[in-house]
């Protein structure tokens, strides 16, 4: 029995080592220090979409300490200064750092609340050139309220405008440990996107043969968004008694495939 167990462990370790040896870490953000690296990151400004309409530069929505970035959703106590009842923090690499053909991983802890909608996602770096949804959207992680799972989804002209979200399926869900940090990731290949949580593959979106346009616009440079959101059509109403709510980010890593 011990010999069988040893062989199994040895085989598992060989597979794990082969898996990791495929990727070379070329950039990482560990959020050391007390201020954002503004050469890489910007705070997300207020905007009209549901995900953006509570974004704020308010310093209470951001904290860098002990090697972690914390993004908060809080009650807005000064409605004369800002008419939004809630304000939230978010960061992006728009116009500063791009990612293309590789693996993105983000280690984060998502604290739940009714109306909380934290997300880690990507959009075309040349957003003015491609527009939405023609350039696509890659949602590495979205979590609603107190869910014990996350959504992983892609959007494009093909899935959104043409409604082709079943051929192939444009999203799935993956279980998480809701009380701890989890690692959310996606691999960008020329012919597919492969999503994973804690190193376990959870969903693949392939390039397919079709006479309809815009099915796989994802083989282009992307920028990264990490944001704490509150309220909206999808997540529903906010329960203010559950605020403040936090999203803690330990690190971001970007790998390139060795071959």
Q: What is the DSSP string of 85-149?
A: SEEE-EEE-TTT--B-SSEEEEEEEE---TTB--EEEEEESSHHHH-TTTT-EEEEEE--TT-SE
Q: What is the spatial distance between Cα 123 and Cα 195, in angstroms, rounded to a whole number?
A: 16
pLDDT confidence of residue 13:
45
Element (H, E) at 178: none
- 16 pLDDT exceeds 80? no
Q: What is the spatial distance between Cα 29 and Cα 249, in angstroms, rounded to a whole number?
A: 10
- 20 pLDDT exceeds 80? no
pTM for this entry: 0.92
Structure tokens at 82: 């800002």
pLDDT confidence of residue 98:
98
Distances from the Cα of 238 to the Cαs of 26, 57, 231, in angstroms?
Answer: 39, 20, 5
Measured in residues, the chain has a length of: 259
| Number of CB atoms found within 10 A of residue 255's CB | 20
Closest CA to 112 of 250, 247, 249, 251: 247
Q: What is the spatial distance between Cα 134 and Cα 192, in angstroms, rounded to a whole number?
A: 17
For residue range 144-202, list pLDDT tens digits in order: 999 999 999 999 999 999 999 999 999 999 999 999 999 999 999 999 999 999 999 99
The β-bridge partners of 25 are: 255
Please compute the mean of the pLDDT values over residues 213-231 and round it to a whole number: 98
b/e for 144-173, b at 16 or more Cβ within 10 A?
A: beebeebbbbbbbbbbbeeebbeebebbeb
Structure tokens at 185: 């990731």
CA 125 to chain centre: 15
Please give the mean pLDDT across all residues of the chain: 93
- Backbone φ, ψ for residue 161 (5° rounding): -70, -45
Domains along the sequence of the chain with CATH: 25-257 (2.60.120.200)
Which DSSP symbol is given to 181? -
The β-bridge partners of 206 are: 192
Percent of the chain with pLDDT over 90: 91
């Amino acid at each position: 029995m011990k010999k069988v167990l040893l062989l199994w462990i040895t085989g598992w370790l060989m597979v794990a080592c082969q898996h990791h040896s495929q990727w070379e870490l070329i950039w990482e953000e560990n959020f050391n220090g007390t201020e954002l690296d503004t050469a890489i990151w910007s705070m997300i400004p207020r905007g009209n979409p549901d995900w953006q309409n509570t974004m704020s530069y308010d310093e209470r929505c951001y904290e860098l300490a002990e090697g972690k970035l914390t993004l908060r959703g809080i009650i807005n106590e000064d409605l004369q200064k800002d008419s939004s009842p809630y304000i939230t923090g978010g960061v992006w690499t728009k116009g500063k750092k791009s990612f293309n053909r590789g693996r993105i991983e983000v280690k984060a802890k998502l604290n739940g609340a009714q109306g909380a909608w934290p997300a880690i996602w990507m959009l075309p770096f040349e957003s003015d050139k491609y527009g939405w949804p023609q350039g696509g959207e890659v949602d590495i992680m979205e979590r609603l309220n107190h869910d014990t799972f996350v959504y992983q989804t892609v959007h494009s002209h093909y899935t959104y405008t043409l409604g082709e979200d079943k051929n192939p399926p444009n999203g799935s869900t993956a279980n998480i440990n809701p009380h701890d940090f989890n690692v959310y990731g996606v691999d960008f290949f020329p012919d597919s996107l492969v999503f994973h949580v804690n190193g376990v593959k959870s969903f693949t979106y392939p390039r397919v043969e079709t006479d309809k346009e815009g099915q796989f616009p994802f083989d282009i440079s992307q920028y990264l968004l990490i944001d704490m959101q509150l309220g909206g059509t999808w997540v529903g109403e906010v329960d203010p008694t559950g605020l403040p709510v936090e999203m803690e980010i330990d690190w971001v890593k970007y790998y390139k495939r060795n071959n």
